[in-house]
Amino acid sequence: MPRQPSKNGQHARGRTASDAAGDTGATTASNGHASKRRRATAQSMAASQRDISVSEFFAKNRHLLGFDNPRKALLTTIKEAVDNSLDACEEAGIVPEIWVHVEQTGANRFKVGIQDNGPGILKKQIPLIFGKLLYGSKFHRLRMSRGQQGIGISAAGMYGVLTTGKPVKIASKTSARKPAHYYEIKIDTKKNLPEILNGRGEGVDIPPGEAGWKYIEKHGIEWVEVQHGTRVTIELEGKFVRGRGSVDEYLEQTAIANPHVTIHYLDPESGSDPANEKLYERSTDQLPKEPKEIKPHPYGIELGMLMTMLADARGMTLSQFLTSSFSRVSSGVASRVCQTAGLKPRASTQKIGRGEADKLFHALQETKISSPSTDCISPIGEELLLKGLHQVVPGEFYVAATRPPAVYRGNPFQIEVALAYGGTTGANRVPLEVLRDLLAECDARTLRQFLTTTFYGLGTDAADQIIKAAGFGSRTSPSKLKPAEIKRLHEAMTSVNLEAGQTMNVLRYANRVPLQFQHAACAITQSVMSTNWRSYGLTQSRGQLPSGPVTIMVHMASVWVPFTSESKEAVAGYPEIQKELRLALQSAGRKLGMYLRRRMKVKQEGERRNIFLRYLGEVASAVSDINKTDRKKLYDQLMLVAKKKTATADMRLDERGQVIEAELEEDPSVLIVNEPAEVGIRNPETKNGQATS
Amino acid sequence: MAKRPRKASDKKKADTEKVVLTDRDKKTLRDLLGLADRIVNDAQKKRDPYLEIPTRALSNVRYNKTRRRIEMGSNKNRRELFNLSQAKSYMQTVLVASGCKQLIEQGKTLSLRGLYYKLKRDVEGTKEPTFVDQGECDPVIEDVEVGLNSLREELHLYASNRGNLAGPLVLFDHATGDEIDCARMGSAGYSIPSIVENDVIEFKKCTAKFILHVEKDTVWRRFAEDKFWQKHNCILTHGNGQPPRGVRRILSRLHHEYKLPVYCLLDNDPWGYYIYSVIKQGSINLAFESQRMAIPDAKFLGLRSKDYERCELSPSVKISLSDTDIKRAKQIASYPWFEHKKAWQKEIQQMLKNGFKMEVESLISKDITYVTEQYTPARLEEGDWLD
């Protein structure tokens, strides 16, 4: 089917010569009568056909990297910088400490500074790392890390330069005694190369000690004094919001999944005053186990890749090549592969042609090779998952489940799930001033949209309840509320019981990085939705997230996380991944179910108790009317009997429940926060202590 | 609310503080005290307090073949305070007991409804009423009666009057000190009170030869208007459907004290059969009262299943049997006291075969005076009744 050139005009540049020629041919053929207008010829087209730089491509397609709107751009910039910092610290064996500083410099402009206490960067590498797209250490190896491609931070810098024209500023120091390096760079998008602006294109060295400080102050360089570390400052067009998909949320979620990280956060409202700093303190000094780098597994490669590898492996025999380039291929396995492929193990790799490579490829897929070693993955671990979740999400019951490592397409991966039950949603606790700010910042068109997008775990049902309780119309615009109306809304939000209308809050992580967008497209969300939570005591409509005060955190750790796009927002659904997700969710769900059933039992017992306790007073009065016994004394005695009776009921429950209780409480993957018992013996003597039930 | 000093001796009335208790009152009070003391005792020993109440159900009644009446078995139900389904009725039972104790001490009596109102309030600290309606209260009162093995009047309670009497009977009402001639009570007759024990209603003179008990007021009036009791020298009573205890007791007393045979003219339906059954051998619910109430020699005069053909009634009097009627009829047929009576089995089978039931009033469709001047005299003459 010939495509219409007019439609394709703007993309024509992106096509190869043969493509373009084919198109032209087809067009002329279909337009049998030649038009007068001069058509492009293969020659004229060739003139405009040229290389496209990666930077140019991404400058045009910045949404692919997560810069689709100002709000997301700000977040992505911070995210990329923080992720890089954490990777660097962990790789160097340093317990990370991160400073995030967001400062508003204009109506839609923000200056973002992120500093770490990492190993620092060598002088000559700095411009390349921050000023060249697709430059990095992580792409070519198979090792679990947050960054993968080496696009992120340079793309953020590029976006900043594009929107504000201000250069990216980098300061880095590798040790206390060595000078710090300071660069101001721009990206030359045409060449995909950094352009250094300061120090006559060479950057500046800041000497250590007093002299350095003076220089820093004089030039207004931002720097928190550390022995070694890196700071990147980017000024960009952005929008600062709170609530869902915000910087606050990203940092909070990062703190959950990275309990070994301390984050100092200054938001635009802090006025850059360190006193207003928000601190996420680490709950452990233990660095996560260092993931090992592994060689690719034969099941995970493609034919083209195999051919490239063969071509690279000069002077090796086939057997040598197989054993040295792949993991889990011993000489025995190699000879079996060669046998299946009909090739000699001692053949030289250079003599392998396309056809033979194809045979070899298929032989590799057919031969039974054990799964790749999984020590290349470093999961967060159940204990730290519980710790992290408990610190940030209030609740009464926490459970974590870590699956054993598994493999998809030759890439090892591991799924971890942590779940928190109970607690109230943020909407119940939001202070009036914060609500006022939230309303002023939001760009939602309706109040309902504002509520559901700003607060986690607040479904449309709950939002409608709040709106109804506050007496607003369904289409009220949130930005036009008067102060009195805001107060009314606030009252409704704090008074309406949202537990029933709450939906499960899903926190997704890939290699410890929170994923904040594209919930629906993500295999994690899909797995949560397709799990049957009803059998674990939650309510759930078909194909929906379950409702209830539940926060679930799902972490996928892998040497290569299969994202659906470069902006790393959603995990692709490979069957192996879906299976592991399902099993992990079910394992956490089962324990939640046990807890909820037990809680239900206790509650029912309590209700039963209250029913007969209710009549004690009447019985005591009537009896004392008959035989003039002391009413108070009799009442107290009956109360004692009741307590004894309920105590035995408790005990029985405990014993029966103890089996569960012991199981649940001795289980290291479970954390139960004991709140004051909500169903105790209510004393009907104190008249107001008795609520109608 | 009607308040009556209970005894002639109480009639000195004056200040309530000087209530003179009868021996029966003292016994009842002792029983009530015992009930309360047991609760205190249990509470002191930290045991679950419970009340033992004889079971009032078909499962706990026995048909005594020699005495020909229903007697209560020895099954007892435990009513526990610390039991979910019984906690409320336990409280209600204790409330009724304390209410009765107060009545006895003050020398007053109350109707069942009066006691219900006296005890009805919200359970302290809640909005839940102690009794939702009288229907919840009445069975509890019966429970206390059975549980304490005392009679309703001993608890100073009475039911509303239901049922009338007319005939050559003179009685003395100790409550008011009136002498009543039941032959001179006008067209409405003497209203039978709830408590008719000898110390309240004393029979002075009775010249009647038998008693005719009819089901309800309308039929009773028909007989009264036609001066049936004058013509046949009998006592004419009705119990407004299922006769209350006062009516049953007065029938029983007349039957036993004056040896008057009792004939019943009831509807031809399961309900009528059961009224007869209750008069004759006592009710399942109040089996403990059978001894005082049952009249094992009572006869069932009509209406009979065969009367539709025998009396050539018009088809308009047929009322077709409902499913519950059929079920109830089969249930009655299987009661031990009907089980072995061939005539009764035949009677019930006939009704089921007919597929319809009839009320006594259906005889009026033939002629206004048919029932009083032809049907009933003929049955009595022939001795055509069911036993």
C-alpha–C-alpha distance, residues B78 and B86, integer Å? 9
Q: Identify whether the C-beta of residue A158 lies closer than 8 Å to the C-beta of residue A59.
A: yes
pLDDT greater than 90 at residue A190: no
For A615, which of B35, B88, B127 is closest by C-beta distance?
A: B88
Q: Identify whether the C-beta of residue A112 lies closer than 8 Å to the C-beta of residue A170.
A: no
Q: Which residue of B has its CA nearest to A605?
A: B84
What pLDDT, on the 0 to 100 scale, is given for residue A10? Answer: 45
pLDDT greater than 60 at residue A617: yes
Average pLDDT score over residue span A276-294: 83
Burial A144-160 (b: 16+ CB within 10 A, else e): bbbbbbbbbbbbbbbbb
C-alpha–C-alpha distance, residues B98 and B92, integer Å? 10
C-alpha–C-alpha distance, residues A679 and A685, integer Å? 17
With CB atoms and an 8 Å threshold, state whether A625 touches B102: yes
C-alpha–C-alpha distance, residues B284 and B61, integer Å? 7
* Position A73, amino acid: A
For A637, which of B32, B43, B126 is closest by C-beta distance?
A: B43
For B33, which of A627, A640, A692 is closest by C-beta distance?
A: A627
CATH number corresponding to B164-382 = 3.40.1360.10
> Parallel, antiparallel, or unpaired: how do β-strands A262-266 and A97-106 relate?
parallel
One of B90, B117, B258, B375 is an active-site residue; which one? B117
Using beta carbons and an 8 Å cutoff, which residues of B are at the interface with A? 32-33, 35-37, 39-40, 42-44, 46-49, 81-84, 87-88, 90-91, 94-95, 97-98, 101-102, 123-128, 130
Q: Which residue of B has its CA nearest to A634?
A: B40
C-alpha–C-alpha distance, residues A316 and A313, integer Å? 6
C-alpha–C-alpha distance, residues B185 and B202, integer Å? 17
C-alpha–C-alpha distance, residues B119 and B132, integer Å? 11
The residue of A609, A612, A635 whose CB has the most chain B CBs within 10 angstroms, and thus the best one to mutate to test that interface, is: A612
What pLDDT, on the 0 to 100 scale, is given for residue B329? Answer: 93
With CB atoms and an 8 Å threshold, state whether A623 touches B40: yes
CA angle A171, A175, A176 (to 5 degrees): 95
Q: B328: burial class by Cβ within 10 Å (0-12, 13-18, 19+)?
A: middle
pLDDT tens per residue across span A135-160: 777 666 667 777 766 677 888 888 88
With CB atoms and an 8 Å threshold, state whether B126 touches A614: yes
pLDDT tens per residue across span A200-238: 778 888 888 788 888 888 887 888 888 889 999 999 999
CB pairs A-B closer than 8 Å? 97
Q: Identify whether the C-beta of residue A187 lies closer than 8 Å to the C-beta of residue A234.
A: no
Burial A487-524 (b: 16+ CB within 10 A, else e): ebbbebbbebebbebbbbbbbbbbbbbbbbbbbeebbb
What pLDDT, on the 0 to 100 scale, is given for residue A559? Answer: 83
First to last CA, chain B: 41
- Strand residues in chain B grouped as ranges (E): 50-54, 61-64, 69-72, 76-80, 110-111, 157-158, 164-166, 169-173, 178-181, 190-191, 201-206, 210-214, 234-238, 262-265, 299-302, 319-320, 356-357
What pLDDT, on the 0 to 100 scale, is given for residue A3? Answer: 43
For A618, which of B36, B48, B123 is closest by C-beta distance?
A: B123
The mean of the pLDDT values for chain A is: 79
For A283, the token pair is 């709950």
Chain B residues near residue A611 by CB distance under 8 angstroms: 84, 87
CATH topology of domain B9-158: Arc Repressor Mutant, subunit A (1.10.10)
C-alpha–C-alpha distance, residues B347 and B242, integer Å? 20
How close, in Å, is residue B286 to chain A by CA atoms? 26
With CB atoms and an 8 Å threshold, state whether A629 touches B88: no
pLDDT tens per residue across span A378-420: 888 888 888 888 877 778 888 999 888 888 887 888 999 999 8
As a whole-number percent, the residues of chain A with pLDDT over 70 amount to 84
The SS3 call for residue B85 is coil
The SS3 call for residue B33 is helix
pLDDT greater than 80 at residue A268: yes
Average pLDDT score over residue span A459-479: 79
For B98, which of A608, A622, A641 is closest by C-beta distance?
A: A622
Give me the interface pTM, i.e. the ipTM. 0.77
Of A353-357, A465-469, B350-354, which one has max mean pLDDT? B350-354
Q: Which residue of A has its CA nearest to B81?
A: A612
What pLDDT, on the 0 to 100 scale, is given for residue A87? Answer: 87
**What are the residue boundaries of the structural domains of chain B, listed by start?**
9-158, 164-382
Q: Which residue of B has its CA nearest to A609?
A: B84
For A619, which of B48, B91, B101 is closest by C-beta distance?
A: B91
Average pLDDT score over residue span A462-481: 80
Using beta carbons and an 8 Å cutoff, which residues of A are at the interface with B? 608, 611-612, 614-619, 621-623, 625-627, 629, 634, 637-638, 640-642, 644-645, 684, 687, 689-690, 692
Residues in chain B predicted with pLDDT less than 50, given as ranges, are: 1-16
With CB atoms and an 8 Å threshold, state whether A641 touches B49: yes
Burial A10-23 (b: 16+ CB within 10 A, else e): eeeeeeeeeebeeb
With CB atoms and an 8 Å threshold, state whether B39 touches A619: yes
With CB atoms and an 8 Å threshold, state whether A618 touches B124: yes
With CB atoms and an 8 Å threshold, state whether B87 touches A611: yes
C-alpha–C-alpha distance, residues B289 and A133, integer Å? 103
Who wins on pLDDT, A629 or B11? A629
Q: Which residue of A has its CA nearest to B89?
A: A615
Sign of the dihedral defined by the CA atoms of residues A416, A422, A425, A429, in that order? negative
For B43, which of A621, A638, A684 is closest by C-beta distance?
A: A638
With CB atoms and an 8 Å threshold, state whether B46 touches A625: no
What pLDDT, on the 0 to 100 scale, is given for residue B122? Answer: 86
Q: A572: burial class by Cβ within 10 Å (0-12, 13-18, 19+)?
A: middle
With CB atoms and an 8 Å threshold, state whether A618 touches B81: no
What pLDDT, on the 0 to 100 scale, is given for residue A4? Answer: 46
What pLDDT, on the 0 to 100 scale, is given for residue B230? Answer: 92
pLDDT tens per residue across span A526-580: 999 999 998 888 888 888 888 888 889 999 998 888 888 767 788 988 888 999 9
Q: Which residue of A has its CA nearest to B121?
A: A618
- The DSSP symbol for B155 reads G
With CB atoms and an 8 Å threshold, state whether A637 touches B94: no
What pLDDT, on the 0 to 100 scale, is given for residue A434? Answer: 80
With CB atoms and an 8 Å threshold, state whether A640 touches B46: yes
For A640, the token pair is 């004692």
What pLDDT, on the 0 to 100 scale, is given for residue A426? Answer: 62
Q: Give the residue from A99, A96, A189, A88 showing the smallest Cα distance to A145.
A: A88
Average pLDDT score over residue span A619-638: 87
pLDDT greater than 70 at residue A9: no
Average pLDDT score over residue span A578-603: 86
With CB atoms and an 8 Å threshold, state whether B83 touches A612: yes
How close, in Å, is residue A688 to chain B by CA atoms? 7
pLDDT greater than 50 at residue A684: no
How close, in Å, is residue A447 to chain B by CA atoms? 39
B308 in catalytic set: no
With CB atoms and an 8 Å threshold, state whether A626 touches B36: yes
- The DSSP symbol for A380 reads -
For B32, which of A619, A626, A642 is closest by C-beta distance?
A: A626
Alpha carbon dihedral A214, A215, A216, A219, in 10-degree steps, equals: 120
The residue of B35, B51, B90, B91 whose CB has the most chain A CBs within 10 angstroms, and thus the best one to mutate to test that interface, is: B91
Please, which residues bridge with residue A40 across strands? none
What pLDDT, on the 0 to 100 scale, is given for residue B5? Answer: 46
pLDDT greater than 60 at residue A657: no
